Homo-oligomer: A and B are copies of this chain.
């Protein structure tokens, strides 16, 4: 059993076909079925798996076709191959092709699919359930077919079927390193104690904190450790990546496949003419209230969203380029701004926030260079967590973050491509907190942004996100607030906490 495609199409020509043109159509159809549609098809393919024009007629200026196929030279591919030949053949009779209208398109899937595996997209007009199969009727224009909409629908259905078969199963998680237990010196909730000490206060938006100098001292100390002990010794250079991410980037990075529930979306004014906005400003001045619905009507977009994964907006820097062999691996990082995720509601500590600060490390090169860089980074992290921060932590191979963000589950299907999570033990809640990760993303981004290597080797990339809130949460949960008991390297960098604010 295999997937089958069938389409009916009308080819509209510039005038009525004379008898000799109709004969030429017959010959072109014959050639297509015997030669053209067989190009590139493996020898073992059976007759019925290959695209074929199974019926045709000419009436006035219109040539009507029925094309059927299995998986090889699919009906729609066959149509466009045929278009080239027929245009040439009819040209000799001074006939021009004016339009192609698809009058029917059917896909037969050899599987009794669950309803949830069939996407709710406007193209699917009817679903017929047959014994052992499902037939879909599609409403597609010729340009939808050129855009490979039927193939994408078939692939999406396969993805959904696979995701459903995982059902409620948890994500992949496989322990690869464990530091072992460390002495317990503190068992409080660090967010609560930071609040009580005036190190942080809630910001005005959800999941958002304002950090007082004492908290920032610790943040910057941890950041300095990252810069001095990890990033600089390994040869990474600082860049500045943009923080507003338009669709164009997420379409190429793959985030447009599924990140929608967690995005803070960004919309732009329809115009920056002050007169257009005067009524809005006047309404506020007169009522003290912001007229949200009226503002909404004056916005375009959303054009994209606030920074979510930090590395995608880097990629336009190298988009369409070929990297010189001797410039590789390229090693860079960014720490220039905030990331934002619409997290589930409720009150959480600084370890789970909507707005956070991350140092994003990114590298690209050959597969070997990319994997080697990830390994060297891992070694540097081990040294920092063991020798400098003295943390109780572990690391595990997990479902790659980009698959999770695209709504997929399971492993990457490759031993080398994947995400390694770093987790720290939180004594106060007897749980483990993912506080950073290292990912080898394979050729995902270079492919999406069309980046090549001079040698012709496949270009790979990797990234590692260090969440400063999460490092802080992990560190304080284990080490507490008595600075005399902190690891010396951290205590020295932090210095005496500055008490800048005093309230009555």
User: Could you list which residues of chain A lie within 8 angstroms of chain B, going by C-beta atoms?
Assistant: 119-123, 144, 147, 149, 152-153, 155-156, 159, 201-205, 208-213, 215-217, 219-220, 237-251, 256-258, 260-269, 271-274, 276-288, 290, 292, 295-296, 298-299, 301-304, 306, 313-314, 316-318, 321-324, 326-327, 330-332, 336-338, 340, 342-344, 354-355, 357, 407, 454, 498, 500-504
- Per DSSP, chain A at the interface is mixed
Is the Cβ of A261 less than 8 Å from the Cβ of B276?
A: yes
Beyond contacts A159-B285, A210-B242, A211-B240: 8 other A-B pairs, Cβ-Cβ < 8 A, are: A147-B288, A149-B286, A242-B355, A258-B281, A261-B269, A261-B272, A261-B277, A264-B268
Please indicate the chain B residues that have their CB under 8 angstroms from the CB of A205 in the complex: 242, 244-246, 303-304
Q: A157: shortest Cβ distance to chain B, in Å? A: 10
Min distance, Cβ A72 to any Cβ of chain B, angstroms: 22
With a CB–CB cut-off of 8 A, which chain B residues contact A210?
239-242, 313-314, 316-317
Are B121 and A247 neighbours in the complex by a CB distance under 8 Å?
no
Q: Which residues of B contact A504 (CB under 8 A)?
A: 321-324, 454
Which residues of chain B have C-beta atoms less than 8 A from A267's C-beta? 264-267, 302
Chain copies in the assembled complex: 2
Q: Which residues of B contact A276 (CB under 8 A)?
A: 261
With beta carbons under 8 angstroms apart, the residue of B204, B249, B250 that contacts A316 is B204
Cross-chain contact of A239 among B212, B313, B355, B357 (Cβ < 8 A): B212
In the bound complex, residues from chain B placing their C-beta under 8 Å from that of A144 are 287
**What residues on B are CB-neighbors of A314 within 8 Å?**
210
Report how far A246 CA is from B354 CA in the complex, Å: 13
Q: Would you call A120 and B278 a contact (CB within 8 A)?
A: yes
Give the residue of B220, B296, B299 whose beta carbon is less than 8 angstroms from that of A238. B220
Once the chains are docked, how many angstroms separate the CA of A240 from the CA of B247? 28
Contact B313 A152 (CB under 8 A): no
- Least Cβ distance of A342 to chain B in Å? 6
CB distance from A322 to the nearest CB of B (A): 4
Asked if B261 contacts A264 (CB within 8 A), the reply is: no
Q: Which of B121, B243, B280, B503 interacts with A324 by CB under 8 Å?
A: B503
Q: Which of A201, A265, A288 has the most chain B CB atoms inside 10 A of its CB?
A: A265
A-B contact list, 25 entries, CB within 8 Å: A119-B282, A119-B285, A121-B283, A156-B286, A203-B316, A204-B248, A204-B316, A205-B304, A211-B239, A215-B240, A219-B240, A237-B498, A251-B284, A251-B290, A256-B290, A260-B281, A260-B295, A261-B276, A292-B301, A318-B501, A318-B503, A322-B503, A323-B501, A330-B501, A331-B500
Cβ-defined contact, B344 with A272, below 8 A: yes
Q: Please state if A323 and B204 are interface contacts (CB–CB under 8 Å).
A: no
